[in-house]
């Protein structure tokens, strides 16, 4: 019997396009709220710009105007089906939502999408999500597509660890530092904590079941780029609470 982890079908590969021209690859996942579906990924993926500097990521200054999203095909586990999703309106203005307060200072967007009849969405906020404790030094997994779609169409589970105190987010800083080495295609990946057997819970209790427990931590947005070949290999994760705030705020980017 083949057993596929439910979080492996939640992370989906995306391609950033300008018309028919391929620009880059990334990762996304689906969120559902009030019966509406949203594609969650990084702001820098859809804008083509560095959120800190506003500079273009591409040497050609190209900006995507649509995404090719490789959803899970309904009834065919492991198979992907591509859907083209416009991210700009007819006037060239963004269709994605940003955080209502911090805007693109949080490198996460929500793109309204329709519920395709031939697609299985697997919204991440409908999956098993236990209230596990999250502390500095703990291992987490980044679920993404560093090389595009691989064998079976499933993501790579890249292990990392929490490198800053989660409790200071968002009071002192908006992101959580992660100790991990990653590739650009993992931008937009969901980050999870996974526990087996005995689980340490956020309320201080110990749970003996279920046998596997998972907590959705947030959205990964890649490494801090450095010119130093011996850099610290730190990445950024934006807490999961920001996703629902972005969706609920429905603030269109400008």
Q: What does the pLDDT read at residue 175?
A: 95
110 has a pLDDT exceeding 60: yes
- Label residue 151 by pLDDT band (50, 70, 90): low
**CB neighbourhood size of 157 (10 A):** 16
Which segments within the chain are labelled E, that is strand?
A: 12-18, 21-33, 36-41, 66-73, 80-86, 97-98, 109-113, 119-120, 139-144, 156-162, 176-179, 190-196, 199-200, 206-207, 212-223, 234-239, 251-252
Over residues 152-176, the pLDDT tens digits come to 789 999 999 999 999 998 888 999 9
- Label residue 228 by pLDDT band (50, 70, 90): very low
| For the chain, domain boundaries | 6-123+244-252, 127-240
List phi, psi (to 5°) of 247: -65, -45
Over residues 26-63, the pLDDT tens digits come to 999 999 999 999 999 999 999 999 888 888 888 878 89
Q: If 0-12 CB within 10 Å is exposed, 13-18 middle and 19+ buried, where does residue 208 land?
A: exposed
Q: What does the pLDDT read at residue 2?
A: 60
60: which 2 tokens?
């050609």
| Topology, domain 127-240 | Thrombin, subunit H (2.40.10)
Arithmetic mean of pLDDT over the chain: 91
9: which 2 tokens?
């079908």
Kindly state the average pLDDT of the residues 120-147.
95
> 5: Cβ–Cβ under 8 A, 6 or more apart, which residues?
none
93 has a pLDDT exceeding 60: yes
Q: Hunting for tokens 């009030």 — which residue is that?
A: 34
d(CA 67, CA 79): 19
d(CA 144, CA 214): 17
> Which stretches within 24-167 are classed as H helix?
43-47
pLDDT above 70: percentage of residues in the chain: 95
Domains 6-123+244-252 and 127-240 share a fold: yes
Peptide bond into 210 cis (omega under 30): yes
Q: Hunting for tokens 């998972």 — which residue is that?
A: 214
Poorest-pLDDT segment among 114-128, 146-160, 164-178, 235-249: 146-160
Q: What does the pLDDT read at residue 61?
A: 81
Kindly state the average pLDDT of the residues 171-193.
90
Poorest-pLDDT segment among 88-92, 93-97, 178-182: 178-182
> Which stretches within 67-213 are classed as H helix?
none
- Does the domain at residues 6-123+244-252 carry the CATH identifier 2.60.40? no
87 has a pLDDT exceeding 70: yes
d(CA 224, CA 107): 13
- Label residue 109 by pLDDT band (50, 70, 90): very high
Q: What does the pLDDT read at residue 37?
A: 98
Report the greatest alpha carbon distance in the chain.
55
d(CA 243, CA 238): 9
More confident residue, 149 or 79: 79
């Amino acid at each position: 019997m083949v057993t596929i982890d439910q979080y492996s079908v939640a992370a989906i590969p995306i391609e950033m396009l300008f018309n028919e021209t391929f620009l880059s690859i990334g990762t996304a996942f689906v969120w559902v709220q009030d019966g509406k579906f949203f594609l969650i990924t990084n702001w820098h993926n859809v804008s083509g710009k560095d959120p800190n500097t506003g500079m273009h990521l591409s040497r050609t200054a190209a900006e995507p105007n649509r995404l090719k999203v490789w959803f899970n095909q309904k009834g065919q586990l492991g198979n992907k089906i591509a859907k083209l999703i416009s991210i700009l309106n007819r006037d060239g203005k963004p269709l994605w939502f940003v955080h209502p307060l911090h805007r693109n200072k949080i490198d996460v967007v929500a793109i309204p999408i329709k519920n395709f009849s031939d697609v299985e969405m697997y919204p991440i906020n409908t999956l098993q999500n236990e209230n596990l404790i999250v502390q500095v030094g703990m291992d987490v997994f980044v679920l993404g597509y560093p090389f595009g779609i691989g064998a079976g169409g499933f993501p790579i589970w890249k292990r990392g660890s929490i490198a800053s105190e989660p409790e200071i987010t968002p009071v002192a800083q908006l992101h959580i530092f992660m100790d991990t080495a990653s590739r650009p295609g993992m931008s937009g990946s969901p980050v999870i904590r996974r526990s087996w057997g005995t689980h340490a819970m956020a309320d201080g209790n110990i749970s003996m079941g279920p046998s596997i427990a998972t907590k959705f931590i947030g959205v990964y947005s890649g490494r801090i780029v450095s010119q130093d070949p011996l850099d610290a290999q730190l990445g950024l994760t934006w807490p999961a609470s920001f996703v629902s705030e972005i969706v609920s705020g429905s603030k269109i980017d400008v």
